[in-house]
Amino acid sequence: MKVSKTEANKAIAALREELNRHNYLYYVLDQPEITDAKYDQLYGKLVALEEQYPELVTADSPTQRVGGAAGAGFQTVHHRIPLLSLNNAFSEQELGDFDQRIKRLTGAENPAYVAELKIDGLTVALTYQDGVLTQGATRGDGVTGEEVTANLKTVRTIPLRLRGTPPGLVIVRGEVYMNKGDFETLNRTREDSGETLFANPRNAAAGSLRQLDPKITAARRLDGFFYDLLWWEQAGDNGPATQEDALTQLKEWGLKVNPTSTLCASIEEVITFCRRWQGERLTLPYEIDGIVVKLNSLQAQAEIGTTAKAPRSKIAFKFPAQEVETQVREIIVNVGRTGAVTPLALLTPVQIGGSVVSRATLHNDDFIREKEIRIGDTVILRKAGDVIPEIVRVVKEKRTGEEREFQFPTACPVCGSSVYREPGEAVTRCLGAACPAQLKEFIIHFASRGAMNIEGLGPSIISMLLTREMIKDPADLYALTFDQLLTLERFGEKSARNLLTAIERSKATPFDRVLFALGIRHVGAEMARRLATSFRSIDQLLSATKEEFLAVPDIGEAIAESVIHYAGEEQNRRLIHKLKQAGLQMALAPELQEAALPLTGKTFVLTGSLAVLTRSAAEEAIRRLGGKPGSSVSRHTDYVVAGKDPGSKYQKAQELGVKILDEDEFQNLLQEAAARQEREEVDC
């Protein structure tokens, strides 16, 4: 019997609320109130009503968890708040050093911390607009990630609508993971069907979340814990004052928070927490790889700020690495994109830290000599930081006399050119300017996800293109034709079109990532962003002097000399000219050109609590208009913005004569700057 639309709307709203409540009780609190059969009955009623009136289906309906049609790919998301990584501590002494830094930076005698288990999963950010989940994204490189909203909606512990009355805009950070039991079940199923097994639960979670078909993700039984409130946007409310309060708020909204998170009154209590879970980690149903320690005061967190890579107020304590015994079967050498000749030990495969390891880097000739590693040796292998396989020592008492010493090559094993080790350096480098191994590794780096992100252009295809002499440098990728690609092994029309589309799409890659893609020594992704922002175009960058480089924060002698050396090489100049001709972004986009923004060159320091804007929103507004938020007051500070209960920064600003703005004056300054920018854009 068909009900009226008005009646259906009321019934759907009631069923939606009831089912979401039962999902929360079952998946988050583990306290079900009804049987599975009763839940299925309610769910069936909702499905039937929504089928009658599909226009009444909402984004927060439980029926939207099952996953829709498979997509063609993932869109790139620019994170409103960067998802920074954490600095690591590998010992209790380093935790003590962290505590001393916090005391020095904050002036607090006894800072409190929150200690949380570091879940070994995939970091995600969820955005809720008016309480409804509108976007879910992976961390990616911290600045940009992939939108995986449809897949995250299939994770039962993630609420489609927040409980209570949340602010208009909320962004939270958490970790999606796979339980050990579900991981083992998944691998058994894959083994039975002849599919490749996942190495560990983290890889399984990452692979499951990045499925183009949400139905596959839904079948993988992912879970999640949430631990950071990144954005809170509500007039007159600055949100929680402490990390402990933030976790409580997340729980009240229906997000799953790890129940082991603990408020610690001192670093000694933090160390006790770390010792406990180091011993009990194997009893947990999920993998952890350490403890995250956070300063409890969110105001103090904001005031001491971040470095380019990590917040100063947080640290990850990494558990001591696991160790196993294995054998060195052979030693080979690899040649990297910068010419570094790196020895690599091929090992008898061994299980360690949740994955199978069959090789380990030997770094350089000095490392081999210091450890006295020989081919055939029995060695102790460690996964340092639970990530990188590392040979700790040789078990010399197990030597048989048949072991062979390794002779470091005097010529490049790939091109035959001489190798050279600069005085004071540990790395030996190939001197062959046209070394195929260097070129291949360079193009692999150029096409990688963090650089130009040319999807589908992997090492095997790059090898074919080089072997067939279709490319001689990365710029040649942009001259490839459909007919050329069809001549490659296993290339059909569809794969050729897909690759050409990916190459064409990469032309829109922002300037900072193009700069990173160039593979300049010492210039990683973070430094590329800093250089792009400071010099704004490739021409300005390559013509800069050493003094101009050293004037930029965080740029030292090594980076300055490396970029200047790169700029002086004719082959690099030719490559950049070809990339320009191909249409790559060799300057900041006009909207990002700081010189065109009204607050360019102005530094702001915030202190105290703001009534209208959150601290992060205020800092974002400053950046958007070209200004720079600072963490400490100096003679170079242009403005100190003083909210309620300002701290020592207010007094220092008075002492130094720095202009102090109250919140109303700050808002007026922002509005005037924004209006000026709009007028300039209209004039253009």
Closest CA to 363 of 393, 343, 386: 343
- The domains of the chain are located at 5-65, 88-318, 323-408, 436-508, 511-592, 597-683
Task: Count CB-CB contacts under 10 A for residue 147.
Answer: 16
Structure tokens at 406: 């390794």
Q: Which of 38, 118, 396, 652 is catalytic?
A: 118
Whole-number pLDDT of residue 68: 45
- Residue in this structure with the two tokens 């800092």, named with its chain if needed: 619
Is the distance from CB of 528 to CB of 602 less than 8 angstroms?
Answer: no
Nearest 10 degrees: Cα torsion 13, 14, 20, 24: 150
In DSSP terms, which residues pair with 357 in a beta bridge? 350
At 649 the three-state DSSP class reads helix
Q: Where are the alpha helices (DSSP H) in 392-492?
A: 436-447, 459-467, 482-486
Whole-number pLDDT of residue 547: 86
At 172 the three-state DSSP class reads strand
Q: Which residues of the chain have pLDDT under 70?
A: 1, 26-30, 36-37, 40, 65-73, 193-196, 234-238, 308, 353-354, 384-388, 433, 553-554, 590-597, 612, 677-684
Task: Kindly report, residue by residue over 72-88, the tens digit of the pLDDT.
Answer: 467 888 888 888 889 88
The helix or strand, by DSSP H or E, that contains position 126, with its residue range, turns out to be: strand 122-129
Domain 88-318 belongs in CATH node 3.40.50.280: no
Is the distance from CB of 649 to CB of 633 less than 8 angstroms?
Answer: yes
Whole-number pLDDT of residue 222: 95
At 283 the three-state DSSP class reads helix
Nearest 5 degrees, angle CA 105-CA 107-CA 111? 90
Residues 6+ apart with CB under 8 A from 240: 229, 232, 246, 248, 249, 298
Fold assignment, 436-508: DNA polymerase; domain 1 (1.10.150)
Whole-number pLDDT of residue 122: 92
From the options 3.40.50.720, 1.10.150.20, 2.60.200.30, 1.20.120.1200, give the CATH code of 511-592: 1.10.150.20
Structure tokens at 184: 């083992």
Could you tell me how many residues make up the chain?
684
Q: Do domains 436-508 and 511-592 have the same CATH topology?
A: yes
Is the distance from CB of 20 to CB of 160 less than 8 angstroms?
Answer: yes
Closest CA to 442 of 462, 456, 469, 422: 462
Is the distance from CB of 362 to CB of 343 less than 8 angstroms?
Answer: yes
Closest CA to 184 of 167, 198, 163: 198
Whole-number pLDDT of residue 193: 65
Structure tokens at 495: 């794969």
* CATH dotted code for 597-683: 3.40.50.10190
Query: Catalytic: 371?
Result: no
Fold assignment, 5-65: Helix Hairpins (1.10.287)
Fold assignment, 323-408: OB fold (Dihydrolipoamide Acetyltransferase, E2P) (2.40.50)
Structure tokens at 684: 């253009």
